[in-house]
Structure formats: C-alpha cells, structure tokens
Amino acid sequence: MDGTALILVELGAVFLGLGLLGRLAARIGMSPVPLYLLGGLLFGSGGVINLAGISEFGEIASEIGVILLLLMLGLEYTARELVTGLKSSWLAGVVDLVLNFTPGAALAVIMGWGFPGALVLGGVTYVSSSGIIAKVLSDLGRLGNRETPVVLSILVLEDLAMAVYLPVLTATLAGLSFLGGLRAVAIALATITLVLLAALRYGPQISRLIHSSDRENFLLKLIGAALLVAGLASALQVSAAVGAFLLGIAISGSTAHSATKVLEPLRDLFAAMFFVVFGLNTDPTIIPAVLPMAILLAIVTSLTKIGTGAWAAKRAGIGVPGRVRAGLALIARGEFSIVIAGLAVASGAITGELAALCTAYVLLLAVLGPIAARLAEPLTRPFLPKAQPSPDTAF
C-alpha cells in the first residue's frame, strides 16, 4: 500500500474510532476525553498498533485543536465579565492557585524532575476542566444554582492565569534565560492588557469586522483570524493558545453566539484529534509504574479542589449543600492539563515518565470528576432542611 493510501486508511480508522468512542461516552454519561486518550495510547508508540503514517497531519491537527478549544473558551466570556470576575473573586483565585499548584510541583521536585517538571506538573494539577465542568453543570440542571457563579468565577480566573502561565512555561521549556523569561512574561502581560482594553473599547467593531450573514464567509474569516492571531502570538512567545483565547474574548454579542454554533463541530473534530495525538506520543508501558503516584496525586488534588470550592462558596454566603456541590464540581481535569503536558512533550524537555503520569492523572480525574459532581446530591441530603408536616398529617 502506497504512502497516501496508508495515511487515508489510518485517518479513516482514527476518525471512525473516535466517533464510536464518543457515542459510547454519551451512552454511559461521561466525558469522551478519557476514551480519546485511551485510543491514542492503544495506537501509539508501545501500543497495539503504531499509526506512524498520520504523525505529520496529527501534529498540525492537534495544534489547530488547541487553538479552537481556547477560541471557543474565550467566546464564553466578555472582557467586562473577566474584569468583574477578577475584581470580585481574586482571593479565591489565589487560594485555588496555592492549594492546587503546590501538590504537583512538590511531587515533581521530590521525583527529581527539576524546575521545568515542577512547572509542568503544577500547572496540570492546578487547572480544572472548564469544558467538562460546564457540561456536567448543564446536564445536572445546576446552571441556576447559587453556587454556580462561584464555580464559574474560579474557572475564569484559572483561564486568566493560564494566559500568563503558558508564556512562562513556553519560555522555560525553550531554555530561555531568566531575563528571557521575564521578557516573555512582560510581553504576555502587555498583550493581555492591550487585548482586554481593545475588547472593552472596540469589541463591537471587532465583532462586526468578523461577522457575516453568509455562513461560509463567516467561518473563513473566523478561522483565518484565529490562526493569524495565534501565529502572531506564538511569534511573540505568548503562546498560540492564549492568542486564540484573547481573540475569543474580543468577539462579543450575537457574533460570539453565532461563532460558537459554527465552530462547535470543527472544535470537536480537531480537539478529539489533539487528545489522540497526545496519547500517541505517550508510551503506555510506562503508565503502570506511575499509576500509584497518579492515584495519590488525584486523591490529594481532589481534596484541595473540594476545599477551594467550599471555601469560596462559604465566603459568598452559601450554605453547606452548595459548598459541597461547588467543591465536587471543580475536581475534573481535562483539556487544559493535556495542553500543558502536550507543550512539554513537544518541546522534548520532560521525561516519558512525567508524560505518562500526566496522562494517567487526567484519565483518572476526567472520569472521577463528573461522577463526584453527580454524588453531591445524596451527600448533601442530610444537610437540607427537613420538610415540615402539614396540619392534616401532623397527627
């Protein structure tokens, strides 16, 4: 079989397999992310079959997947909402960062993976999965609950922190000097500030420039703008993903709503490919050796996330049931954790053991997070006020 035919066969098998895995995930009521990762592990280096023919396409597709993931995330917020959330919930964001970054970073130091390893694993354990959590809250009918704004504020602050963290990570993995790292952070902060100011002042104009009543024209302008901004951000060492996220923030109103509808199928396609490619680049034979560490880290950081959510909800005046629901909702890790680990793997600056640990950790919490959120109701039932008997049934 010639090269082109082999690539087409492998791609067809991968996309068909992803579709079947997505259907299975929907039937059992879980996120498809763990299944996509498992699929990549089965067909990568050290797996059942090595799909080497699609490596070049897979790398490009996975990069586009990250860009679309972050663009769609940015579309969920306006610049004003981000600024408001930052003002009202910054303390909860600091608590979240300290409690959840520290366990991963500490484990990396203990294992001798150095500062780059600590920076990578700390980021992996710190950031919750906005995509999985939003879907779970919607499925459980909790979007109108009193604790939900607290959960969303923490997620927004994590997304903002990523806009600073990713350039620092990129500079560290590239082996830049301390001054080079500071310059990267300064450029990132300046870019974020300028984009937020531009979005606040010129958001409607930016939206009108991209919007079109013609679906094809709208999609071309949207994808073109996303790739252009992502490329320019990457050239400035700000991170392509952050550039796409900031573009999403700048698009607002009906244009953002329309963009979400148009991009959703493409986002799902390329994001699925991203998770598969990460699995392909991870040697599954290493995972059993790091599984005990992954389980321990999952337990510790689940408890720290529960503590973060409960503390933030208590500070907002929410009762015990709402605090428990807020804490359990934040457990899931997913797309951002894999983005961080994927950047580290692509740079070649981390060991295969650390990559395998990240994969096992995300697999565990992407599955356990939604399950824990669903268990919140029976767990909080004893704290709910008892129903008073009616006069007719009191005796």
User: pLDDT tens digits for 227-243?
Assistant: 988 888 777 766 677 77
DSSP track, 124-177: HHH---HHHHHHHHHHTT-TTSTTHHHHHHHHHHHHHHHHHHHHHHHHHHTT--
pLDDT score recorded for residue 361: 93
pLDDT score recorded for residue 395: 39
In-domain check, residue 215: yes
Distances in Å between the Cα of 13 and the Cα atoms of 8, 9, 21, 43, 45 are 8, 6, 12, 11, 17
User: pLDDT tens digits for 275-291?
Assistant: 777 777 777 778 888 99
* CATH number where 14 lies: 1.20.1530.20
pLDDT score recorded for residue 240: 75
In-domain check, residue 207: yes
In-domain check, residue 394: no
pLDDT score recorded for residue 32: 80
> Number of folded domains in the chain?
1
pLDDT score recorded for residue 174: 75
In-domain check, residue 58: yes
| Helices first, then strands: H and E counts in the chain | 16, 0
Q: Which residues of the chain have pLDDT under 70?
A: 1-3, 44-55, 79, 81-86, 176-181, 184, 237-239, 349, 379-395
pTM of the model: 0.73
In-domain check, residue 242: yes
pLDDT score recorded for residue 352: 76
Q: For residue 351, what are the domain limits?
A: 3-379
In-domain check, residue 66: yes
